[in-house]
Structures are given as structure tokens and as C-alpha cells.
Chain A
């Protein structure tokens, strides 16, 4: 037992004995204040339960008459509930915070979608018009001036590509157009073609998945496959997406040499740290460990609101 917990234990036993002698509101407030201080000191509900159980043991050190025993049963409940009440406050606060966090996530995802759309479709279309206008202008110009316009067109192409990349980073359009499972298959296909990695996708989705979760799963799969191909020198990878009414589980397993998360390559993809943050923001967990015989198993579990 830590010195800290020992202190709480001592005070708890004392206050509990005082309550048993005189079961009044003064003693109950003492229990409440004890719990409140313990919460502030970082103790948890399980520690409090242990503290209470030990306090019970100290008062049960002699045989009790039936009436006394019955009184003790009631008294210990009242006292314990008071001591735990501050933890109920903390519990409700964290539940409320979780709801707010979820709403915030959805709001951010909605914003990302709108910005992605504006970049990809609206700005993209405007650029297409500019391209046409420049091409028309070029046709009227003397050949020695056309070179300058070619340079302009080159820059426009760069702007176009930058916009596309930005839009894709915010929200892959393929998710919008096809949904998560086909998007993952397309992603696997792309990785296979580009890196020569053999990728199989098993996706079993039967319920609606929130956009935030879709994007996160997509990004993580993308990161894991890219890592498998580029850095882990894997030859085969498997994406396994499953869903229960309460959660979505996505595993990416490869036969490579492990996950490379050095700062050097963090610039290009999401990186493990950012993946972890994204998953945590959705209340999920991420596990990166060895695959059965060889390679890496990256599994992410994200709870779904039922």
C-alpha cells in the first residue's frame, strides 16, 4: 500500500468508526469530504472499494449480535455511498465530456468534408476555366510570348495538384463516392500496383459507420499498407475489417520487418503518434504488435454509438 493510500485508509477507518458510533450528517459529510479529497489526490473507485473493505474488516474483528450486524450493514452502505458520491460526479463529467468530444469530432469531420469539396470541386472547376482561358489567350499570341504562358500553365498545374492533395488529405473523395469497404479495396489495389505488394481485403460492414470513423479507418489502413510496402519490405498484407453493433475493428497484417515510425518519414504520412491520437479522440484503442509468424499486426478498435 502506498503511503498516500495508507493515509486515506487511516482517516477512512477513523471516520467510519465515528459514523458507527454516531450516525449523523456530520459523519456523512466527513465521508463525502474524504471521498472528495481522495478523488482530488488521484485515487480511483477500486482503491476506494478496497479502502472500504479494509475498514469493514477492522470493525468486524469481533463477533456481532444479529441486531448489531443488521445495523452495520445499513450503516456501511450509507457511509460508502457518501464516500463514492464525488466519484459519481467525476464519472458524469467524463461521460458528458465524451459526448461533447464526439459531437466536436463529427463537426470537424463535417467541416473537413465541406472544405474538401470546396477545394476539389469548386476551386478545381474554377482552375479548369482558367486553364481554358489561358489556352485561348495562348492561341492568339505570337510564338515568342507563348513560352511565358506555358510557365503560367505549369504553375496552374501545380496549384491544381496541391488543391487535389489537400482535398484528399481532408477527406478522401473515394469515401464520399463509394463508402468505406470499396474505398479500402481501391486503396489496396493502388498499393498493389504501385509497390507490388499483394493485398487482400476482407470487409464485412452491415451498419452505418459515422464519417469520422470511416476517415480514421481509411487513413490508418493507408498508413499501415504504405509502411508495409515502403519500409517493412513486406510481400503480402491482409486488411480485415469487421463490425459488431458496438464497435468497428480493423486489422492490417503484413509479413514485413516491422513498423517504422522514425521522425524522418513522419512528414509524409500520419505516423503512429497521430494515428494513436485520432483513435483516442474517438474513444478507441490501437495495438501494434507482431503478426503470428512474421511481420506486423496493426489493429484498431473504435466504439460505435449504438
Chain B
């Protein structure tokens, strides 16, 4: 399996594919099954955000290294409407999340690193990482 895969995201079927790729890559690196579920969950939430708000985008899932540590990185980009106020978007209760901790804020909480950049009219990029052990 290559150490990087790109998955176009435009439908639920694409989210399924991205979750599968993410799970496979992370399993290959020795992530526990608990962490595989968290990674798949983060992909589902970020992927859903693309489908719901930008209609289409792309996810790049790759193996990353930092010294002896290795991890999985997911970069999700879209050319959708963008987010005017990121801090509001990252708060629970924004849009469909309803304060249940799901959505983008949920993905942030289960990954080790989470970054979001966005420009109105241009699109949004979410970069998240999970380190093994």
C-alpha cells in the first residue's frame, strides 16, 4: 500500500472509501483498534462537513514521521464557501452539531493535532494528525 492516498469527497460513498483507506493505512502502522475507530470517526465528521457545506472536496491521507514517532495525517480540502468565523465554527452547537460534540469540534477532540484554515469564497482546509503511541 502506498504511504499516501487521495480520495475525492462528494458523497457518502466517498466518505466510506476515505474511512476505509484511513483505517487500512493506520492499521498497517500498528494503531490500536480503538484508535482506528477514532480516526475513521474523524474522517466521517470532516468528510460530512465537506459534503454538507462545500459539496465536493478531497482528502489526502498519509503516513507521517516525526523522529521515531509515526502517525497518520489527514488533509481535507474543499473549494466551498469557506468559513467566515472559524472560532464559532469550532464551537459546539454550530450548525448541525447541536452541542453534542460532533462535527468539526468533535474531530478536533479525538485527534492529536487539528488545524483549520479557511477563506470565504475560496474554501477550507482541515489538517489533522494522530500519532501512534
* Docked pose: A128 CA to B37 CA in angstroms: 67
Q: Which of B16, B37, B100 contacts A82 (CB 8 A)?
A: B37
A18-34 interface bits toward B, Cβ cutoff 8 Å, 1 = contact, 0 = none: 00000011101100100
Residue A219 interfacial (CB < 8 Å): no
Q: Output the least CB separation between A105 and chain B (Å).
A: 19
Give chain B interface residues in 33-70, CB to chain A under 8 Å.
33-34, 37-38, 40-41, 44-45
**A96 with B109: CB separation less than 8 A:** yes
Q: Which of A25, A82, A89 contacts B101 (CB 8 A)?
A: A89
Q: Which of A25, A39, A90, A92 contacts B19 (CB 8 A)?
A: A25
**B102 with A39: CB separation less than 8 A:** yes
Residue A94 interfacial (CB < 8 Å): yes
**A85 with B37: CB separation less than 8 A:** yes
Q: How many A-B residue pairs have CB under 8 A?
A: 66
**A93 with B23: CB separation less than 8 A:** no
Residue B71 interfacial (CB < 8 Å): no
Residue B106 interfacial (CB < 8 Å): yes
**B19 with A93: CB separation less than 8 A:** no
**B109 with A40: CB separation less than 8 A:** no
**A93 with B37: CB separation less than 8 A:** no
Given A81-B37, A89-B110, A93-B109, A29 and B100 touching (CB < 8 A)?
no
Q: Output the least CB separation between B83 and chain A (Å).
A: 19
Give chain A interface residues in 18-73, CB to chain B under 8 Å.
24-26, 28-29, 32, 36, 39-40
Residue B12 interfacial (CB < 8 Å): yes
Identify the A interface with B (CB < 8 A).
Answer: 24-26, 28-29, 32, 36, 39-40, 78, 81-82, 85-86, 88-94, 96-97
What 6 A-B pairs have minimum CB-CB distances, sorted nearest first? A93-B101, A89-B106, A25-B20, A92-B109, A90-B101, A89-B101
* Interchain residue pairs with CB less than 8 A apart (11): A25-B16, A25-B17, A29-B12, A29-B19, A78-B33, A81-B33, A81-B34, A82-B40, A85-B40, A92-B106, A92-B110
